């Protein structure tokens, strides 16, 4: 096994450059780390260029890897250089940038304005996917969609749910309203979420702000309504991705009632 491992390890050096945003943007390639992400990538036609795998992982995930165009065997040290996980699972795919297909009549959308933490962004995408949302928008100065931590935190949902990037958060809000969506800003000073079933049942776009400072006042004022999650205990607030999960599921429940 030494020759193929050695050849694969040499190819890893080039793939490792995709940890840099500039390199990803220039080559329009990104890394998907772990079995869930690789499985999701392989479900998208022509998305995967190559999969790097340790010999042990190639045996463990043989069925998952069957549709892969190319599987390159590497050793544990090489796969560790591609993965940002504490305990790499042994699979990392090189993928082409995704081409999201925006639905014509969305009923549930998440707009993330200036969300900087890749873990939060990925988890919001995962929560939106689980709640049956139609679209996620990363707006303003939000984290790079293809940041490895964002991809990993989405646990494959980035490959199931359209995610678009919009530099202007106000334009994202206006586009949602033009599509007939009621834009709800999630903010501490809003109406009680659990008393808003009348609006939650309508096609809705949730507007979430930055982890530290929330939604800027000017942007919040563009929303149709400001809604808050009641805090019953002594915690000051909820983590962004946790709050997003509560809000998205509240809409999903009301729309299906």
Q: Which domain holds residue 129?
A: 108-256
Q: What is the CATH number of the domain that holds 129?
A: 3.40.1280.10
Say if strands 204-208 and 182-192 run parallel, antiparallel, or are unpaired: parallel
Tokens describing residue 101: 């297909």
Dihedrals φ, ψ of 70, to 5°? -150, 130
CA distance linking residue 178 with residue 81, whole number of Å: 45
> Does 101 reside within a domain?
no
Say how many C-beta atoms besides its own lie within 10 A of residue 210's C-beta.
19
* Same-domain pairing of 119 and 218: yes
CA distance linking residue 236 with residue 15, whole number of Å: 42
**Per-position pLDDT tens, the chain of length 257:** 444 566 677 788 889 999 999 999 999 999 999 999 999 999 999 999 999 999 999 999 999 999 999 999 999 999 999 998 888 999 999 999 999 999 999 999 999 999 999 999 999 999 999 999 999 999 999 999 999 999 999 999 999 999 999 999 999 999 999 999 999 999 988 899 998 888 999 999 999 999 888 999 999 999 999 999 999 999 988 999 999 999 999 999 999 88
* Same-domain pairing of 153 and 242: yes
CA distance linking residue 150 with residue 24, whole number of Å: 14
* Same-domain pairing of 189 and 251: yes
């Amino acid at each position: 096994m030494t020759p193929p491992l050695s050849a694969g390890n040499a190819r890893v050096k080039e793939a490792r450059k995709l940890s840099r945003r500039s390199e990803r943007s220039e080559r329009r390639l990104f890394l998907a780390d772990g079995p869930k992400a690789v499985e999701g990538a392989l479900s998208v036609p022509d998305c995967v260029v190559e999969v790097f795998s340790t010999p042990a992982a190639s045996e463990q995930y043989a069925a998952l890897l069957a549709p892969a165009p190319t599987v390159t065997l590497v050793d544990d040290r090489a796969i560790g250089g591609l993965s940002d996980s504490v305990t790499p699972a042994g699979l990392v795919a090189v993928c082409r940038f995704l081409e999201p297909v925006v639905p014509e009549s969305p009923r549930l959308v998440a707009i993330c304005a200036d969300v900087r933490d890749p873990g939060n962004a990925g988890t919001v995408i995962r929560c939106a996917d689980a709640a049956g949302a139609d679209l996620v928008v990363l707006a303003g100065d939000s984290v790079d969609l293809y940041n490895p931590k964002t991809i990993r935190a989405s646990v494959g949902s980035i490959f199931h749910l359209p995610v678009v990037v919009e530099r202007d958060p106000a334009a994202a809000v206006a586009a949602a309203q033009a599509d007939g969506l009621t834009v709800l800003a999630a903010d501490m000073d809003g109406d009680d979420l659990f008393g808003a079933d009348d609006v939650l049942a309508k096609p809705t776009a949730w507007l979430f702000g930055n982890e530290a400072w929330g939604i800027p006042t000017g942007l919040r004022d563009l929303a149709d309504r400001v809604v808050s999650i009641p805090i019953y205990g002594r915690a000051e607030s909820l983590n962004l991705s946790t709050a997003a999960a509560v809000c998205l599921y509240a809409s999903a429940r009301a729309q299906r009632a």
